Amino acid sequence: MIRLAPCALVAAMLAGTGARRADAAALCVDVASTGAIPDDGNDDRAAIQSAIAQALAAGGSHAVCFRAGTYDVSPAAGNASFNLGNVNGAPATNLMLIGAGSATVLRMNGNAGTQSWNLFLISNGAARVAFRDLVLDGSLATTPAGHLIQIGAGDGTPVSEVTIDGVTLRASRNEAIQIAGGSSIAAHSIAIRASMFQSNLGAAIDIRGGSDQIQIATTMFSANAGEDVRTLGLPIDGVTITGNMFVRDPAAAPAAISLQGGTPTAPNTRATVAGNVVLNGAVELTHFDDVTLANNLIVGSPQAGARPELRMLGHASGTTLDANAIVRTATTAASVVSSEAVAGVAPTRVVMRGNTFVQPAPANIVQLFAVADVVFASNQLVFASSSAATFSGLQLRALVAPTDRFAITDNLVMGNGGTGSLASAFRLSNSTGFTIAHAIATGNVVRGCARGVSFDNSFPGPVTIADNLFDTTAGDVVGGPTAIVTGGNRGEPVQLVGTGDPTATGVTAPNGSIYQRRDGAANTTLYVRQANAWVAK
C-alpha cells in the first residue's frame, strides 16, 4: 500500500472540493510549526496541543500533521494529554491527526501519579475525529488507569464518527482503546481498521455500555495480555468484527473475543464476527443475542486447559455458526464448542451449518447443554484422540426447560476408530425434570464410532432417525423413546486386508464386510462380519 506524505494526503482528500494544490501546506498544521521537535527527548505535549487548537480555530485547516520521529508526551491536568472534548472551549469536530506511518510515534513519557492518564480523550459531543498513520505508544507508563484513546464519558453528550485507520497502539498499561457511552447510547459509529494492537496489558479494545455501530476490520492483534476485543455493560448494539488476525500468547487466559455484558433478562444485541483468523485463542458469547460467526478460522492454544474454543453462555440466543473451522489443539479435556445455562437462562435458536470441528482431546466435540431450537447441519466433526471411547461427536443435554426441537442433518462424523473411537456420533441426554423431544436425525454419515445415535434415558418423543449411513460397532440406534421412527439407515460393508485375527486385533467394520487375512491358514483366511462379530469361513 502506498502512503502519501501528510500534506499530500490532505491535498488528496480535499481534491474536488475547490481547494488549490498550492494551498495544501496551509490545509495541514504541521506540529513542527508550533515547536514540536521529534527525537529530541523533550516534552512535545504543549506544542502538539497548540497545533490542534490552531487547526480547530475559526478558518483553521481541521488537520494536524506529524513528521517522522518520536514525540514525547507528558500527562496534563485532568485525565488526558489531549482532551478533544474541549479545544478552544468546544468539542473537536472534523479533525484529522495524520502521521507519516510507523515512523511517527507519540509516546507517553512521564508519571501521572495516582490520577488516570489518557493520551487522547474524545468526549463531550466530539464528532468526526480521525487518526491515521500513527503509532501511539503507552511505554507501559505507570498510571492506575487510562488508555491510549478514551472515547465517550465526559459530560455524556454523544460522541460519533471516530475513525482509527492505519494506527499502531502498543504498550498501554491498561486498555489501548476504551469506548464508553454510558447508560444510554452515547458512543456511536466508531470504525477501527487496518491498524495494529500490540503488547497491551489490558484488553486491546474495550467496548462498554452505551455504544453502538462499532466496526473493527482488517486489524492485527498480537501479544495482548487481556482480551483483544471485549464488550462489557449495557446497552451495546451492533458490533462488527471482520477480516482481522488475532495472535494470542499461548499461555494467555482471556479469550481473543469476548462478547458479554448483558444480563439474563436484558442481553446485548447484534454482532457479526466474520472472516477472522484466531490463533491460540477462543471466542466467548455471554448474554449477547443475534450473533453471526461466519468463515472464521479458530485454532485454540495448546495450553488452553479445560476451556472450549467457542463458548455460549446464558441468553446467547439467535446465534448462527456458518462455515467456520474450529480446531482444538490442547489435549486436556474440554469440548471444542459448548453452551451452558446461566441463572436458568439458556441459548435458543442456535444454527450450526457447514462448520468443521476438530477434537484431539478426550472430550465431546460439540457439547450443547440446555439449548432449544437447534439446527445442526452439514458439519464435519473429526475426533483425533486415542483415548477410550466414552465421548460423543454432538451431545445434547437437557438442563433447563424447554430443551426441545433439534434437527441433526447431513453431517459427517469421523470417530477415529479403534480404541479412540467416539462412543456415539450423536448423544441425547435427559436430566431430572427436563427432557428432550422433537428431534430429527437424517442424512448423516457416521464412521469410526461405536454408536450412531444413543439415548441416555427415556424420552417422550417423537424422534425420527432416518436415511443415515452408520459405520458403527455397537449399534446404529441405542436406547431411545417409544415414539421413535427409524428407516432407511444403513451401514456400508467394506473389504479389508490385514494380518492377524480381526477380532483379536480389534478390527471393526459394518456387518457384511469381508476381511482377508494375509497370514491365515485353512479356515482362517477369510472372515465375514455377521451380527457384529467376525466369523471365519
51-84 pLDDT tens trace: 999 999 988 999 999 999 999 999 988 789 999 9
pLDDT at 2 over 60: no
| Residue 6 pLDDT | 55
Average pLDDT over residues 471-478: 78
What mean pLDDT, rounded, does the chain reach?
Answer: 86
> Same domain for 474 and 368?
yes
Cell 421413535 sits on residue: 484
Q: What is the pLDDT of residues 34-50, one digit of tens each?
A: 999 999 999 999 999 99
| Residue 459 pLDDT | 63
Q: Does residue 396 lie within any of the structural domains?
A: yes
> Same domain for 393 and 372?
yes
| Residue 16 pLDDT | 41
Q: Does residue 332 lie within any of the structural domains?
A: no
> Same domain for 513 and 454?
no
Q: Does residue 65 lie within any of the structural domains?
A: no
- Is the model more confident about 44 or about 253? 44
Q: What is the pLDDT of residues 216-232, one digit of tens each?
A: 999 999 999 999 999 99
Total tally of structural domains belonging to the chain: 2
Determine phi and psi for 280, rounding to 5 degrees.
60, 30
Average pLDDT over residues 312-339: 92
Cell 494551498 sits on residue: 23
Q: Does residue 483 lie within any of the structural domains?
A: yes
> Same domain for 372 and 473?
yes
User: Cα(136)–Cα(172) distance, rounded to whole angstroms?
Assistant: 9
pLDDT at 443 over 80: yes
| Residue 419 pLDDT | 56
> Same domain for 387 and 482?
yes
Q: DSSP state, 26? A: G
| Residue 218 pLDDT | 98
Residues paired with 322 in a beta bridge: 294, 353
**The three grid cell numbers given for residue 486, joined into one nine-digit string:** 427409524
Q: Does residue 423 lie within any of the structural domains?
A: yes
- Give the distance from CA 97 to its chain's centroid: 30
Residues paired with 340 in a beta bridge: 313
Q: What is the pLDDT of residues 112-161, one digit of tens each?
A: 777 889 999 999 999 999 999 999 999 987 666 789 999 997 778 899 99
| Residue 399 pLDDT | 56
Residues paired with 299 in a beta bridge: 279, 327
Quick one: pLDDT band at residue 493, thresholds 50, 70, 90? low
Q: Does residue 461 lie within any of the structural domains?
A: yes
Among 462, 510, 509, 511, smallest CA distance to 486 is for: 462
> What is the chain's length?
537
- Is the model more confident about 242 or about 250? 242
535 and 503 Cβ atoms separated by less than 8 Å: no
**The three grid cell numbers given for residue 342, joined into one nine-digit string:** 446461566
pLDDT at 322 over 90: yes
Q: Does residue 420 lie within any of the structural domains?
A: yes
- Is the model more confident about 513 or about 309? 309
- Is the model more confident about 396 or about 432? 396
Average pLDDT over residues 477-501: 69
Q: Does residue 339 lie within any of the structural domains?
A: no
Q: Other CB atoms closer than 10 Å to residue 193's CB: what's the count?
A: 17
> Same domain for 376 and 468?
yes
Average pLDDT over residues 380-388: 83
Lowest mean pLDDT of 4-13, 203-212, 251-260, 427-436, name the range. Answer: 4-13
> Same domain for 443 and 521?
no
Quick one: pLDDT band at residue 375, thresholds 50, 70, 90? very high
pLDDT at 388 over 80: no
Please tell me which of 144-153, 320-329, 398-407 the model is most confident about, judged by mean pLDDT: 320-329
| Residue 446 pLDDT | 92
> Same domain for 385 and 474?
yes
Quick one: pLDDT band at residue 461, thresholds 50, 70, 90? low
469 and 492 Cβ atoms separated by less than 8 Å: yes
| Residue 124 pLDDT | 93
> Same domain for 524 and 467?
no
> Same domain for 516 and 451?
no
pLDDT at 168 over 80: yes
> Same domain for 523 and 475?
no
pLDDT at 22 over 80: no
| Residue 1 pLDDT | 40
**The three grid cell numbers given for residue 14, joined into one nine-digit string:** 480535499
pLDDT at 205 over 70: yes
95 and 57 Cβ atoms separated by less than 8 Å: no
Domain with 450, as residue range(s), is 364-492
C-alpha dist (Å) from residue 411 to 179, 281, 486, 519: 41, 26, 17, 38
> Same domain for 501 and 478?
no
User: Cα(530)–Cα(482) distance, rounded to whole angstroms?
Assistant: 27
- Is the model more confident about 393 or about 315? 393
List, in sequence order, every beta strand (DSSP E) within 275-371: 277-279, 283-286, 288-294, 297-299, 310-313, 320-322, 325-327, 337-340, 348-353, 356-359, 366-369
pLDDT at 213 over 90: yes
